[in-house]
Amino acid sequence: MSASSLHLLLLLLLVPHQHQLLQAAPLLVFLVDGFRYDYISDLTGLPGFRELVERGVKVDYLTPDFPSLSYPNYYSLMT
């Protein structure tokens, strides 16, 4: 087997794996509106939120662009 045939064979074997590596993982953004800043710090009575915090990412501090309006803040976070 020539070197060029070997390179072509290796390339054909790696192409499907490259496609899988380039796919982005799904992202779920969970926004909770109306929570005070200290509600999420006491997770004893909130087992569902405790699991989200343990398995995901939680923001410790956020300055809203529009303090009294939810949807403009959501759009600001997503862009």
The confidence score (pLDDT) of residue 17 equals: 56
The three-class DSSP label of residue 46 is coil
Contact between 15 and 22 under an 8 Å Cβ cutoff? The reply is no
Q: Give a yes or no: residue 19 inside a domain.
A: no
pLDDT for 72 beyond 80: yes
Q: Give a yes or no: residue 16 inside a domain.
A: no
Active site residue 76: no
This prediction has a pTM of 0.48
Find the domain containing 54 and state its range: 25-78
Q: Give a yes or no: residue 72 inside a domain.
A: yes
Number of domains observed in the structure of the chain = 1
Please tell me which residue in 5, 41, 68, 70 is annotated as part of the active site. 70
Q: Give a yes or no: residue 11 inside a domain.
A: no
Q: Give a yes or no: residue 44 inside a domain.
A: yes
Q: Give a yes or no: residue 9 inside a domain.
A: no
Q: Give a yes or no: residue 6 inside a domain.
A: no
pLDDT tens for residues 27-57?
A: 888 887 777 777 777 777 778 878 888 888 7
Band (76; pLDDT cuts 50, 70, 90):
confident
